[in-house]
Amino acid sequence: MIKEQLEKIISEIPKEVALIAVSKTKPNQLILEAYDAGQRDFGENYVQELVDKATQLPKDIRWHFIGHLQSNKVKYIASFVYLIHSVDSLNLLKEINKQAIKHNRVINCLLQIYIAKEETKFGLSFDEASEILQSEVLKELKHICIKGFMAMASNTDNTDQIIQEFKSLKQFSLKFPELSVLSFGMSSDYTLAIQEGSTMIRIGSHIFGTRNYTK
């Protein structure tokens, strides 16, 4: 099942677009099924769950952190996380840098931008992101590398609205040509996302089935 779903998605998307399999709430056994089908990039939203899975699962998995990240929890993932998609403040960048120094590595990050017309989504405005990218403090943080931007569109059936939101991010990103990674598009909207210039899609339920949060 998972293998077929992965193969189907991969056959539909351009080679340059990276596929992150979002495995939050899903057991190791299903992650291994995807792994055995060749998938290596997985996304998780919760620090404790990510730490447990990273300990138990194959070491060549690239773990993407895509959930809201609190500064005091960075230390738990700093030794191994491959890319943090959800950076939403300069303070968080400072903490990631501090923890990266302890592990003698550079941690790749994306700035999460708020593009949705909803109250509930985390992220920076375009102005706040510009401010961070132009700040003097950022230049001193040698153990982080900002690669691009992440965003989530509104949870709506209004395709035009989703397209407009994606376009706004793509447009903004053009001001920073060296930040070329654009992480947007989920199970419901990844086709639109790729049309609008996404380079990294984050797919959960289309690969693993719907999630059950009650367990």
- Which residues lie near ligand PLP (CB under 6 A)? 22, 24, 45, 66-67, 152, 186-188, 202-206
Q: Which is nearer to ligand PLP, 3 or 143 (CB)?
A: 3
Q: Which is nearer to ligand PLP, 100 or 202 (CB)?
A: 202
> At closest approach, how far in Å is the CB of 83 from ligand PLP?
13
Q: Which is nearer to ligand PLP, 69 or 146 (CB)?
A: 69
Q: What are φ and ψ of residue 123, in 5° steps?
A: 140, 170
Q: Which is nearer to ligand PLP, 61 or 141 (CB)?
A: 61
> At closest approach, how far in Å is the CB of 183 from ligand PLP?
8
Token pair 């351009």 is found at 14
Distance CA 186, CA 215 (A): 23
> At closest approach, how far in Å is the CB of 163 from ligand PLP?
18
Residue whose CB is nearest to ligand PLP in the complex, by number: 204
> At closest approach, how far in Å is the CB of 140 from ligand PLP?
29
